[in-house]
Structure 1
Amino acid sequence: MIVVEFRMNSPILQESLTHAPEMTISYEEMYQTDEGILFLFWATEGDLTAFEDGLDADPTVANPTQLAETQTRRLYRVTFTEYGENVATYPTWPELNITVLDATTATTHEGWILRMQMSSRETLQRFREICAENDLEFCLKTVYKARENATEADTQLTSSQREALIAARELGYFQVPRRVPLATVADHCGISSQALSERLRRGTATLIDTAL
């Protein structure tokens, strides 16, 4: 397995960022539903009101919903529009067995900075070809081997899912009987109970898929 860091000039959410130039967007998770591709992300360090105005006008996403808020950032969920799905590489990730480890918008707002885990350099080459086919500029930064002692679950969980699962375990949420309610764990993580519940469910599903 290899880890690949690169910049890609995807138009996803770029219109939203023109309304709030100081904003930074960080990937939380993305998944396919009957409604389409849903994207969860954190928005920080900018004018959140202006950013939400931009979301309403952004041609790549629809149905923006705020799921959580802390003092410095907000968690949003959006659905890709038809145009958004056409310019997204997400549909190829399961086929190529690609996992996103981190993704944030570039400081110049010319696309995204991503860190992905891939099975081989052949997979990387195929992914670059897909980007070229979709007129997405791909600028490779680094390639290195994934940690040999990392478990499959480690590599599939997002950092936020892992944080939520560990916090829930340490605080006693999984004990029988439970030592703390969901809201206590959510406060510890700085997110809403709804956002935490979704994060725990998806993290648990990943652990089941990889272990069983």
Structure 2
Amino acid sequence: MSIDIADAEEMPDAVTDTDGDRAGIRSVADGGIVAQLRLDHPDLFLRPTLKRTADVTVEPDYWTAVDADRTLVFLTVYGTSFDEFETALGTDPTVTDPVLVDRYPDRRVYRVALADRTVTFTAATADVGGRLLELSSSRDGWLIQLRFPDRDRLVAFNDYCRNRDISVTVDHLRVSDDEDDGVVALTEKQQELLTVAHEEGYFDVPRGISQDELADRLDVSKSAVSQRLRRAIGELCGSTLS
């Protein structure tokens, strides 16, 4: 079996390597837009469960298509209201066949299958040329951070959401440039949490404030504080130690 390769001279945006040869790969690595958005829709993946279970944070681990009609999603759920979460998950019309896969003191891992009626956005993100940087649940749907190569791709994603009645709320936008080196800046809420935590002595020994008190101060759940701290510290370590 032979594979036809398009003439390199006809390929758009081909990359030139250091020897001047043409390489058959397009680059959208420089510049772009990073957007933090909140998405909501009654039939959005897990939305009914998220609406009924406020004191957990859900982070999808990965999707896998096992056949043409069945997609499985693995979820890590942080918090304390696991019984409440499982009750809601068992009646959630956006998923089928929920299974508890692993159990830990502070989190549980579940596997679910997407229902036919489920509204999703991950495939659309890739289809318009975007990249998913961060995805976690919030009290009003899903909190996502995406990178688009240019404004047109962001507009295309917004059009996809609007055509399906998916509510899009913009937390913040920033322009990525050649100086980013692939490091994603902390979100505004991560910055706010780290600022309050530092000022109130969370990182002191002994601690001057607990996660419960931080949650009360910021009017969010304890699980949200825990995960926001973990992601923010992870971003800082990644940009500092890499």
Q: TM-score range by the shorter chain?
A: 0.5 to 0.7
Give the helix-richer structure, 1 or 2. Answer: 1
Q: CA deviation digits over 1:110-165, x for unaligned, max 9?
A: 211111122211111010011001101101122221664239xx9xxxxxxxxxxx
Correspondent of 2:116 among 70, 78, 82 = 82
Q: What residue is the counterpart of 2:168 in the other structure? A: 138
Correspondent of 1:63 among 73, 97, 102 = 97
Task: Assess if the C-alpha contact under 8 Å between 2:80 and 2:106 holds in 1.
Answer: no
C-alpha separation between the residues in 2 aligned to 1:150 and 1:14? 31
Q: What residue is the counterpart of 1:171 in the other structure? A: none
Q: What residue is the counterpart of 2:75 in the other structure? A: 41
C-alpha separation between the residues in 1 aligned to 2:126 and 2:66? 14
Amino acid at match of 2:45: I
Shift of 1:15: 1.8
Shift of 1:19: 4.0
Task: Assess if the C-alpha contact under 8 Å between 2:97 and 2:112 holds in 1.
Answer: yes
* C-alpha RMSD of matched pairs (Å): 2.2
Percent identity between the two aligned chains: 20
Q: What residue is the counterpart of 1:100 in the other structure? A: 132
Matched, 1:22 2:19: no
Pair 1:91–1:99, CA change in 2 (3 A): same
C-alpha separation between the residues in 2 aligned to 1:23 and 1:73? 9
SS in structure 2 opposite 1:83?
coil
Shift of 1:72: 0.5
SS in structure 2 opposite 1:82?
coil
Amino acid at match of 2:58: I
Task: Assess if the C-alpha contact under 8 Å between 1:55 and 1:64 holds in 2.
Answer: yes
Give structure 2 stretches of 5+ with no counterpart: 1-31, 185-242
Task: Assess if the C-alpha contact under 8 Å between 1:6 and 1:113 holds in 2.
Answer: yes
Q: Which has the larger radius of gyration?
A: 2
Amino acid at match of 2:125: W
Give the structure-1-normalised TM-score.
Answer: 0.62
Q: What residue is the counterpart of 2:203 in the other structure? A: none
Give the structure-2-normalised TM-score.
Answer: 0.55
Q: What residue is the counterpart of 2:158 in the other structure? A: 128
Pair 1:93–1:38, CA change in 2 (3 A): farther
Q: What residue is the counterpart of 1:174 in the other structure? A: none
C-alpha separation between the residues in 1 aligned to 2:103 and 2:52? 20
Give structure 1 stretches of 5+ with no counterpart: 155-212
Correspondent of 1:50 among 61, 66, 84 = 84
C-alpha separation between the residues in 1 aligned to 2:131 and 2:80? 28
Shift of 1:6: 0.8
Shift of 1:36: 2.5
C-alpha separation between the residues in 1 aligned to 2:157 and 2:122? 11
Pair 1:134–1:90, CA change in 2 (3 A): same
Task: Assess if the C-alpha contact under 8 Å between 2:40 and 2:142 holds in 1.
Answer: yes
Task: Assess if the C-alpha contact under 8 Å between 2:50 and 2:141 holds in 1.
Answer: no
Task: Assess if the C-alpha contact under 8 Å between 1:38 and 1:79 holds in 2.
Answer: yes
Task: Assess if the C-alpha contact under 8 Å between 1:5 and 1:113 holds in 2.
Answer: yes
Matched, 1:8 2:14: no
